[in-house]
Amino acid sequence: MKKYSIVVAGGGSTFTPGIALMLLEQSHRFPIRKIKFYDNDEKRQEVIAKACEIYFKENAPEVEFSYTTDPKEAFTDIDFVMAHIRVGKYEMREKDEKIPLKYGVVGQETCGPGGIAYGMRSIGGIIELIDYMEEYSPNAWMLNYSNPAAIVAEATQRLRPDSKILNICDMPVDIEEKMANMVGLKSRKEMDVQYYGLNHFGWWHKIYDKEGNDLMPEIKKHVAENGFAGAISETNQHVEASWVDTFRKAKDVFAVDPTTIPNTYLKYYFFPDYVVEHSNPEYTRANEVMEHREKNIFKVCNEIIEKGTAEGAPFEADAHASYIVDLACAIAKNTKEKMLLIVPNDGAIVNFDSTAMVEIPCIVGSNGYERIVQGEIPRFQKGLMEQQVAVEKLTVEAWIEGSYYKLWQAMTLSKVVPSASVAKSILDDMIEANKGYWPELK
């Protein structure tokens, strides 16, 4: 069997150990000859990488492991780039969340003004990774799950339309696991789903089992009563109180349109008043993540380094992330697996902007993806999506053109922002906070 060489971009990410261990766990179907970590923060990456190096030596000495901040070294001789960078790190995520809240507006990593601000930082970072990949390994594919995926996907489509990059999100994976659990199936892979929307902004409209039986009635019954709460999925990622609330709140999101099953992220657009009321402007999700996930990962890694061994360390593979291996396998082995990807619409949602980057099921193989047509969508979803896609496109245009007005328009148009004046106040604070990360706006 062919063995693959991978670079993990964002080697210092809190998700890197879980993904690296998951890759080892899945090596029976996706064999690896080389894993490299790449990051532009040498110190941060070093802690994660040294611990992983010890783990690899002990558990997979046959895999060549290395880490670097040098793009040439990182991107030479690779088959896949697995990209999960966070430009500005948690320090900037905290500002994305807290600045809007100062004005009584939803403060969220990928939704509303926070997502727009994060997008303005991410575009340059991702384009840089694509260019390194194409310079040093022109046949490689980039599997990107860096956020905000909707804006990143729109930007790469605009700026690098021919590049081999696939954008994917894990939220539907987790929700599908929960839905499978609701109907007594072992895995989401025992279901056939139809889904349409934008990233973090979509709906399931058909769900069948492998015999073709309609699972929607039973799933709807559960969601109408409990949202996604009370259903189990494998991930240990979405478990804290704020996530539990999000899964429960899906009940109210569902009530607005009981013909479809909503993505959890619609909570921010349908119930921004509720979200703001339940937010603490002094302590947001970024603080929660820094105090829990980040602290914990770095503590475990430092202990492994001090002891010189990973034996007995609470270092776990992130099984939930195996969808990334599904995607890599689809390309490497032409498996033609059906997966939700973020791709140019191009007629798949018949009555929607053909240039929009939509999240829909695709068949993935060694030559890329084929879209599965979702047909016409209802006026409610279409109206919401048109507004949101305009926000995303205006953000990317603002980045490309350095346009203050387009970014102000993007923020004004965001469903969670009440007025152009509030949009302007948030924008002006964001410009100040993002100095050195955003292009200069005129």
What is the contact surface with ligand NAD in residues (CB under 6 A)?
9-10, 12-15, 39-41, 44-45, 84-87, 89-90, 125, 128, 145-147, 149, 169-171
Q: Is 169 in the site for ligand G6P (CB under 6 A)?
A: yes
Q: Is 97 in the site for ligand G6P (CB under 6 A)?
A: no
Cβ 165 to Mn ion shortest distance, Å: 16
Q: Point out which span in 17-25, 38-46, 166-174, 350-358 binds Mn ion (CB under 5 A).
A: 166-174
Q: Which does 146 bind (CB under 5 to 8 A by kind): ligand G6P, Mn ion, ligand NAD, none?
A: ligand NAD
161-165 long-range Cβ contacts below 8 angstroms, 24+ apart:
163/130, 163/133, 163/134, 164/140, 164/368, 165/130, 165/141
Neighbouring CB atoms inside 10 A of 392's CB total: 27
Specify the 3-state DSSP secondary structure of 26. Answer: coil
| Nearest of 6, 12, 13, 70 to residue 36 by alpha carbon | 6
Q: Is 388 in the site for ligand G6P (CB under 6 A)?
A: no
Q: Within 266-285, which residues bind ligand G6P (CB under 6 A)? A: 285
Cβ 286 to ligand G6P shortest distance, Å: 8
* 29, 221, 238 from 187: Cα distances, Å: 18, 19, 17
Is 265 a catalytic site residue?
yes
Q: Point out which span in 114-122, 165-173, 343-351, 425-433 binds Mn ion (CB under 5 A).
A: 165-173
Specify the 3-state DSSP secondary structure of 80. Answer: strand
Q: Which does 430 bind (CB under 5 to 8 A by kind): ligand NAD, Mn ion, ligand G6P, none?
A: none
DSSP secondary structure string for all residues of 394-432: HHHHHHHHT-HHHHHHHHHHSTT---HHHHHHHHHHHHH
How many chain residues bind ligand G6P (CB under 6 A)? Answer: 6
Cβ nearer to ligand NAD, comparing 13 with 374: 13
| Nearest of 322, 373, 288 to residue 82 by alpha carbon | 322
Cβ atoms of residues 22 and 319 within 8 Å: yes
Phi, psi of 118 (to 5 degrees): -65, -40
Is 79 a catalytic site residue?
no
User: Residue 196 has which token pair?
Assistant: 């349409």
* 104, 122, 272, 387 from 409: Cα distances, Å: 19, 19, 19, 11
Cβ 201 to Mn ion shortest distance, Å: 11
Cβ nearer to ligand G6P, comparing 11 with 115: 115
Pairing of strands 32-38, 64-68: parallel
| Nearest of 429, 425, 427 to residue 410 by alpha carbon | 427
Cβ nearer to ligand G6P, comparing 54 with 120: 120
Cβ 234 to ligand G6P shortest distance, Å: 13
- DSSP code of residue 29: T
Q: Which of 103, 145, 265, 269 is catalytic?
A: 265
Specify the 3-state DSSP secondary structure of 163. Answer: coil
Q: Is 87 in the site for ligand G6P (CB under 6 A)?
A: no
Cβ 61 to ligand NAD shortest distance, Å: 26
Q: Within 115-154, which residues bind ligand G6P (CB under 6 A)? A: 147
Cβ atoms of residues 79 and 50 within 8 Å: no
Cβ nearer to ligand NAD, comparing 231 with 341: 341
Q: Which of 39, 79, 96, 170 is catalytic?
A: 170
Cβ nearer to ligand G6P, comparing 39 with 79: 39
* 118, 208, 270 from 384: Cα distances, Å: 21, 26, 10
Cβ 288 to ligand G6P shortest distance, Å: 8
Q: Which does 125 bind (CB under 5 to 8 A by kind): ligand G6P, Mn ion, ligand NAD, none?
A: ligand NAD
Q: Is 414 in the site for ligand G6P (CB under 6 A)?
A: no
Cβ nearer to ligand NAD, comparing 45 with 409: 45
Cβ nearer to ligand G6P, comparing 14 with 412: 14
Phi, psi of 368 (to 5 degrees): 110, -145
Cβ nearer to Mn ion, comparing 5 with 122: 122
Phi, psi of 80 (to 5 degrees): -135, 140
**Which residue shows structure tokens 């040098």?**
70
Cβ 282 to ligand NAD shortest distance, Å: 21
Cβ 209 to ligand NAD shortest distance, Å: 25
Q: Which does 285 bind (CB under 5 to 8 A by kind): ligand NAD, Mn ion, ligand G6P, none?
A: ligand G6P
- DSSP code of residue 290: I
State the residues that interact with Mn ion by CB under 5 A: 169, 171
What amino acid positions are annotated as catalytic residues? 170, 265
State the residues that interact with ligand G6P by CB under 6 A: 147, 169-171, 285, 289
